[in-house]
Every structure is written in structure tokens, then in C-alpha cells.
Structure 1
Amino acid sequence: MTPSVSVVICAYTELRWDDMRAAVASVLAQTPRAHEVLLIIDNNPELLARARTSYCAEPLVRVLPNAQAKGLSGARNTGILAARGEIVAFLDDDAGAESEWLAAMVGHYADGAVAGVGGRAEPRWPQERPTWLPAEFDWVVGCSYVGQPTSVTGVRNFIGANMSLRRDILARTGGFSHEIGRIGTVPLGCEETELCIRVRDVQPGATLLYDPAMRVRHRVTPDRIRLRYFVRRCYHEGLSKAVVAGRVGADAALSSERDYTRRVLPRAVLRGLRTPASGGLLRAAAVLLGLAVTTLGYLRGRLRAHPRQRIAPWN
């Protein structure tokens, strides 16, 4: 029997209104159908009122205010608590699910050992891909990147823009941590990494499955393809990883990152050096810059017990 799925979409700004509407529409068009769409509005009364008016006649959509701490983690937790489906899926408000998204997801839950399923997030560039941005750093814009699996396999954690977990397991973990994750435009992250690590703590042997057929298209705004944003995002990734390491230990927090740093990034630099005519030198330089800034953020974060509370964001 196909499990019921509650899809949580969190929004905080009217600037993404059209994207948000498209995200909801992409879920409503799925076969099989989602049990419900929970549209969680984070600390924006005007957006909340507008969304409630827009979806008042749509029975599958419930529009709710964030009832927890401001930020993405609190909004997602509000969705988890309100969800009625057996599975809770998370889709960003600027991402659109492909037509087979839900079907690819739910099929894996026939295996009782599968605690969660995540998928691929493909970038939707404002015009064309920036020449200088290495594909190994597409995580900077919230998308899948070179170094991730290319077939169905178990993983440590998912990309937050496209993930799902069993509701009962989410309840047992207590949901997303408020100490981690994005608040507004401050590009902190890693809340899904920390949550997925805790999933295995509460259910040893649980499988977190990545399926690239579970695809979404994630819009990349022009501000996110600038070098300034790249540097800020890498720095805050380091800060966020430091918080995760402080909570679950460095071994668990950096297990995937060690392989990525030792195996994926050196290949990216060498490939860039071999293709100077197509912007390879710029990409190689971006790899080295991204690694250095992320490491700086991590080291600075490890010096402080609570990076979010004690370290001012890099604006």
C-alpha cells in the first residue's frame, strides 16, 4: 500500500511568490497524489494573509504560520507537527518537483528499513551557468554537486531542498535543531545533516536512501552566482559544520566531507588546470578559495561553543 505523504514547503518572503506558487502546483500535479501540502509562512503576516486567500479553495493545501523559533528549522518543525501523512517530504519554496518526484520517493518506503529518501536538485540558472563556478560547489546554491552518488544508494544525509523522512522517526528525533539552519537571507545550513545523523542514533541500522530519479529543479537567483555570495555561503557552511561537530562529534559531522575534500576537490583542481581555455583556471581557483573559506569558518566556529549566538554573520 502506498504510504501517505505530507509535503512541507516553507516560505518567508513575498519576493518568491511566483516560485512558491509553482512549487505548490508541482506537488499538486503529482501521481500518486500527496495527502496534503503544508505551506508554512515564517514570520511574515502579509505573506501569510495573501497565501491563505490564494489557497482558501484548495482542500489539499493548508497554510500555517511558523509556531516555533524564527527560521527554516522552526518552520519545518511546525510542518512536522501539523503533518498527517506517514511520510513528511520537504521541498524548497523556489524548487519545482518533476512529474515522477513523488512516485520515485514512495516506492522505496516499501522497505521498512528505509527511514528516509532524498533526491537530486538540479539548478535552474538565471541565464547560463557561471563559467567560474565549479560543479563540485553547486551545494553553494542548494543543488546537487559532483561527488554525490549517481545511482540509488545509501547516504549520510540529504539536500534540504528535496528530502523526505518517516513522520514517526521525525517525532522521535525531535525534528530540526534551532541552533542550525538558515534564518532569512543569512546562509547558514547543515540542519538536515545534523538531523539525519540523529535519525541513525534513534534507529540504528536505518537506511537513508538517495535516488537521483527523485528530482526537483531549484531556481538560482542572480545574487547567488556572485563571488561575494559564494564566499559568504562557504564561510557559513564552515560555521554550521562546527555546530554539528559540537553536537554529534567531528567524526560523524565530517565523514562525508573528508572523502569529498580528499577525492573530489583535487580532481576538480586538476581538471580545471587542464582546461584553461574554457575557464578551468577560474574554476580551479574557486575550488581552492571555497575550501579555504569553508575551513576558516569551521575553525572559527570550533573556537566558540555557539557560532550563531556569538559570531556575527559575514554580511
Structure 2
Amino acid sequence: MSDPGAPGVSVVICAYTEDRWADVLAAVASVRAQSRPALETLLVVDHHRPLLDRLGEEYRETAGVRVLANAGPRGLSAGRNTGIAASRGDVVAFLDDDAVAERDWLRHFAEAYDDPRVLAVGGRTEPVWASGRRPDWFPEEFDWVVGCTYRGVPDGRVRVRNVLGGNASFRREAFDAAGGFATGIGRDGSGRPLGGEETELCIRLGRARPDAVLLIDDRAVIHHRVPEVRERFRYFRTRTYAEGLSKALVARSVGAGKGLESERRYTTRVLPAGVVRGLRDALLARPGGAGRAAAIVAGVLTAAGGYAVGSLRARRDGVTFSVTPIGEGGHD
């Protein structure tokens, strides 16, 4: 049973393709099986009428599950903003449409909000490789490429600059203070694997509320499916380049100081240690050691290239971003 004094949690799952039908059903089922029940689950469909109708029929008689159309422009940010505005919970949690949450996921989130200074809590995301195992060449330092927690994220319950959007929660007042996710940053339906929208929001939140505490609790675990196409080096290269483009947009929105603060530590400490580890494994004849070292170097170079190109484009085109004021939405 849930604590009657604990905040009600709305869970938002954004979906965009019928190709993930089974994944979406599994994601919803994992929320409905939580030890600490969600107040509601909102499925937001991104400009895909057949999927909207199909999910609406699937959950037509399911209490606590609502299916909504993205009310904004195509993309993940607008979909999340639609879910926030329609939600009723004191806390809004986000789960990827191709992930399943462990049974105590929401309980660990809710416990952290006992501290009124806490405005956001994220968790740990574990990869589920379609091939059954991690590719030998794929470095754990780059698990963010497939939407998972990477080597270098601190263990335990710790303060962070930003949470990761596929496994995260925010107190409603965070959106009242900072607005919603910025459209123009992150995945937008173009097919490019962009990101960074949650980073930009968290930095904006920190500016609006300097006393805010943002946490990651690695006991709040979800398992994220990694399809075979994302196990290939071609996707790795495309995603790291897109991350560079995204970081350029984040830096333009909130400034390079805060926008790249965590990334500087990552590139100067975590990644060099990963290269050394890979080379050591190669010397010890362990599978994939040289490949992991090479992938880290390649990832840094392609991300840096994306950042340079993104910065030039942003300056040339005068890129601006739209931040949606969320207000009270459907909150009681």
C-alpha cells in the first residue's frame, strides 16, 4: 500500500510508432505492477493517428490509463509537455516507451520527495541487448548512446546537474518555476537521434530555483531495450555526432559554462580512464579491449565534430527555442 501522505505520481510515456507496440504494452504493464501505485499513466502519442486509435481502444476500459494526442509540434519535448499539462500528480515521472520499470521504481522516486528541496529525481537505466549480450567493442562509458546509465555516473543517491529523461521524475512546481521542455532541442521526428532536452530543462530549473536539489537514485531501475541496429558502430557514430549537435543547442540556450559543466569532467576524467582500461584489456588478451579504446576515441571525435557544426549553424541561423509555460494543467 502507498503512504497516504506521499505525493501522487503521474507517469507519462510518449509513443510514436506502432513498431514498438509490444514494448509500449510492457511499459504500461510495468507501471501498473508497481509496489507504490501510480496515480495515473498517460500515454502521449506523437502525431500518429493509427497508433492513437489503437492504444485508445486497447486501454478504453482500463482504469488509470489515459491515451492522449501530442498537443504541440512533433517531437518528444512537446509530447512530454502535453503529458505534464494533462497530469494530476504532485510528481510527474517519465518512462521510455521501450523500457520496463522494476517493481519499486516509483517507491524510490517518491521517498526522495520527502525532502521539500528535491525537485527532480532520476534513476538507473540498464540496457537489454537484442543480441543477448553487450557487443565486445561497446564501451560502458558510452551507454548513453543507447539511452542507458553510463560508467561515470555516481553510485547511490547523489546530487546531479541533470537527470536523464527516459527514467526521471519532477515535482510539479519544477515546471511552474522553469516551464516545460524546450521545443527545438531533442528528438523531433526527423529521424536524427538528438537529445539534451532534459539537460537544458534541469539547468533552467537550477537558475530559476538555486536552492533546488536534483538527485539520481540508482535503486530506481528500469530496463531499456536496445534493438540490434543500435548495437552497430554505424549507429554509435551517428548518435555521438547528434549528441554534439544537441550539446551545441543546449549551450546556446543556457550558456556553455553550465551547458558543458558535467561534460568537461566526463571527457577529461572518465573517458581517458576508459581508454586506459581498454588498452590494458587488450594487453591481457581480453575480448574487445582495443575496440573499446578505439570506440571511445571515435566517440569523442564525432561528438566534437557535431558540436562544432551545431555551434556554427546556431550562430548562422540565429536559432531560438520555445519553452512552454505548463501552469496547473490538470492538477487538482
- What TM-score bracket applies, with the shorter chain setting the length? over 0.9
Task: Give the 3-state SS of the residue equivalent to 2:133 in structure 1.
Answer: coil
User: What TM-score comes out, normalization by structure 2 length?
Assistant: 0.91
Q: In the alignment, which residue of structure 1 is the partner of 2:207?
A: 201
Mark the CA change 1:307 to 1:187 in structure 2 (over 3 Å): closer, same or farther: farther
Q: Deviations over 1:53-108 (max 9, x none)?
A: 00011110000000001000010000010010000000000010001101111001
Aligned ranges 1:77-96 → 2 under 5 Å: 77-96=81-100
Task: Give the 3-state SS of the residue equivalent to 1:39 in structure 2.
Answer: strand
Query: Matches of 2:174 and 2:315 in 1, distance apart?
Result: 27
Q: Check if 1:38 corresponds to 2:42.
A: yes
Q: Check if 1:134 corresponds to 2:139.
A: yes
Q: Deviations over 1:139-160 (max 9, x none)?
A: 0000000000111100011111
Query: Matches of 2:208 and 2:35 in 1, distance apart?
Result: 32
How much identity, in percent, do the aligned residues show?
54
Query: Matches of 2:317 and 2:149 in 1, distance apart?
Result: 26
* Conserved? CA contact 1:243–1:307, under 8 Å: no
Q: 2:182 aligns with which of 157, 160, 177?
A: 177
Shift of 1:172: 2.6
Q: 1:145 aligns with which of 150, 159, 163?
A: 150
Q: In the alignment, which residue of structure 1 is the partner of 2:109?
A: 105
Q: In the alignment, which residue of structure 2 is the partner of 1:294?
A: 303
Q: 2:165 aligns with which of 160, 166, 178?
A: 160
Equivalent residue letter for 1:93: D
Q: Check if 1:24 corresponds to 2:28.
A: yes
Q: In the alignment, which residue of structure 1 is the partner of 2:19?
A: 15
Aligned ranges 1:230-249 → 2 under 5 Å: 230-249=236-255
Q: Deviations over 1:91-147 (max 9, x none)?
A: 000010001101111001010000010000000111211111100000000000000
Q: In the alignment, which residue of structure 2 is the partner of 1:66?
A: 70
Query: Matches of 1:128 and 1:101 in 2, distance apart?
Result: 24
* Conserved? CA contact 2:119–2:173, under 8 Å: no
* Conserved? CA contact 1:301–1:307, under 8 Å: no
Q: In the alignment, which residue of structure 2 is the partner of 1:4?
A: 8
Q: Check if 1:252 corresponds to 2:245.
A: no
Q: In the alignment, which residue of structure 2 is the partner of 1:272?
A: 278
* Conserved? CA contact 1:243–1:306, under 8 Å: no
Task: Give the 3-state SS of the residue equivalent to 2:182 in structure 1.
Answer: coil
Shift of 1:307: 9.0
Equivalent residue letter for 1:199: L
Structure 1 residues without counterparts, runs of 5 or longer:
311-315
Q: 2:192 aligns with which of 179, 182, 186?
A: 186
Query: Matches of 1:17 and 1:307 in 2, distance apart?
Result: 40
Q: Deviations over 1:23-66 (max 9, x none)?
A: 00000111221000000000100000000000011110000000
Query: Matches of 2:264 and 2:256 in 1, distance apart?
Result: 11
- Stretches (4+) displaced over 2 A: 306-310
Q: In the alignment, which residue of structure 1 is the partner of 2:322?
A: none
Mark the CA change 1:164 to 1:221 in structure 2 (over 3 Å): closer, same or farther: same
Q: Deviations over 1:241-279 (max 9, x none)?
A: 000100111010110000000100011001111111221
Q: In the alignment, which residue of structure 2 is the partner of 1:75?
A: 79
Shift of 1:306: 6.8
Equivalent residue letter for 1:178: T
Query: Matches of 1:113 and 1:306 in 2, distance apart?
Result: 37
Mark the CA change 1:140 to 1:307 in structure 2 (over 3 Å): closer, same or farther: farther
What is the RMSD of the two structures over their aligned residues, measured on CA atoms?
1.3
User: What TM-score comes out, normalization by structure 1 length?
Assistant: 0.96
